[in-house]
Amino acid sequence: MITRDRTYFLLLNIGHFMDHLFTLIFATVAALALHREWGVGYAALLAYATPGFFAFGLFSLPAGWLADKWSRDGMMCVFFIGIGLASITTGFAQTPLQIGCGLFVIGMFAAIYHPVGLAIVTMRWKNTGMRIASNGVWGNLGVASAALITGYMIDHGGWHMAFILPGIFSIFMGFVYMAFTWNDIHFDHTTKKQEPSTSEVNQSPSHRTLILRVSAIVFLTTAVSSVVFQSTTFALPKIFDERMQGLALNLSQWTDSVGASGHGDVATVIGSLAFIVFAIASMAQLAVGLSLDRFGPRPVFMIVATVQFVFFSLMPGQVDGVALAIAFGFMLGAFGQIPINDFMIGKMASGAFRARIYGVRYVVSFSVLAIALPLIAYVYANWGFDSLFRILSGAAVVIFIAVIILPKKLPTPEALPAAAE
């Protein structure tokens, strides 16, 4: 049965899908089209995407602040319509500088979703772990679809349409979301926001120390995990382009023989392989979300970090089928880590400030994402992807060590006694 509650959650999930789709269209465009069409090297093209990811992080904090002060649903409307218009404009770029400016504006609007959408999800529904995980799967399907859609467009219509068509759809969804939440937006605008309770402000020294300890771990693991996530999701189409040409060519010839695709659609096959890996690996979030609700973040995070270390260590030197199998493994770890920090913030953060706290989290996360792009470019240009995999296995070790010192039970604002009463 379709209820208002389910429709609301569906719209938020579509927003997460679109957010990650838009931010990674360029990854496949750069890997499979622009370096050939414009004669610009892959490493050089990454420089034009870097400002967009800085905007993705930098504007998260003001987006969260505006959502808390004005309206969270109103900011979601701004997200859908704004990012759609920015993407359509980017689709008409004719130079690297123009596409870099377009990606920057896309990043500005993309910054809205995480602090605002996740604040809505964690405040409106129970079973926070599963809700965040389900929402995260939609985001990861957006990551996967970016490679699939863009690869198809490169072969059948040009990379420009990979920006334009999703942009049109996003604007349409923005008006649908506005119509659905119009009364809520008006209520938010005319009603004073809830202030934090006395028990949330008057924290005991020991509880404050515990909060600071867990927060430090959250932000450290957020930063390191962001390097892992960005390096895998952004570079995977290029990794597949280099290491799976034999497999892609065989699959393309097979689909030609059965009449399932056009002649020589290698870009489509590579995009499809990336989509399959992303889509299947994203299901790890559902298992992680269920485990978070049952066991808490510490043991789950340790398992995820171990999975990352094992498969990143196995990847150097591998090609075709073996590389594909190992890629499934490390993407399970990369996607599985995503809901954990959001779960911990949702449990610890005060409701009145939750969007702003998520904003801070994503300023850290997406600023690191932007820094990761020059890292990918530098490592790739000098040593190739094998060295990148070794760096990522070291990052997994750092995460594991940090998680060891997490408490078994997270502190929550609601559990605090008032110190001065």
The pLDDT value given to residue 399: 93
State pTM to two decimals.
0.70
Please write the tens of the pLDDT for every residue from 362-396: 778 777 767 787 888 888 888 988 999 999 999 99
Tell me, letter by letter, the H, E, C secondary structure of the chain: CCCHHHHHHHHHHHHHHHHHHHHHHHHHHHHHHHHHHCCCCHHHHHHHHHHHHHHHHHCHHHHHHHHHHCCHHHHHHHHHHHHHHHHHHHCCCCCHHHHHHHHHHHHHHHCCHHHHHHHHHHHHCCCHHHHHHHHHHHHHHHHHHHHHHHHHHHHHCCCHHHHHHHHHHHHHHHHHHHHHHHHHHHHHHHCCCCCCCHHHHCCCHHHHHHHHHHHHHHHHHHHHHHHHHHHHHHHHHHHHHHHCHHHHHHHHHHHHHCCCCCCCCHHHHHHHHHHHHHHHHHCHHHHHHHHHHHHCHHHHHHHHHHHHHHHHHHCCCCCHHHHHHHHHHHHHHHHHCHHHHHHHHHHHCCHHHHHHHHHHHHHHHHHHHHHHHHHHHHHHHHCCHHHHHHHHHHHHHHHHHHHHCCCCCCCCHHHCCCCCC
- Residue 418 confidence (pLDDT): 37
Domains of the chain with bracketed CATH? 4-190+205-413 (1.20.1250.20)
Give, for all 421 residues of the chain, the pLDDT tens digit: 668 888 999 999 999 999 999 988 988 888 778 877 888 887 788 888 888 888 887 888 888 888 878 888 999 999 999 999 999 999 999 988 999 999 999 999 999 998 898 888 877 766 677 788 888 889 878 877 887 888 888 778 788 898 999 999 999 999 999 999 888 776 655 554 454 444 445 556 776 777 777 788 888 888 898 889 888 877 888 888 888 878 877 777 776 666 655 545 677 777 788 888 888 888 888 888 888 888 888 899 999 999 999 999 999 988 888 889 999 999 999 888 888 888 887 777 655 566 677 777 777 877 776 778 788 888 888 898 899 999 999 999 999 999 898 877 766 654 433 333 3
Residue 405 has a pLDDT of 85
pLDDT of res. 100? 93
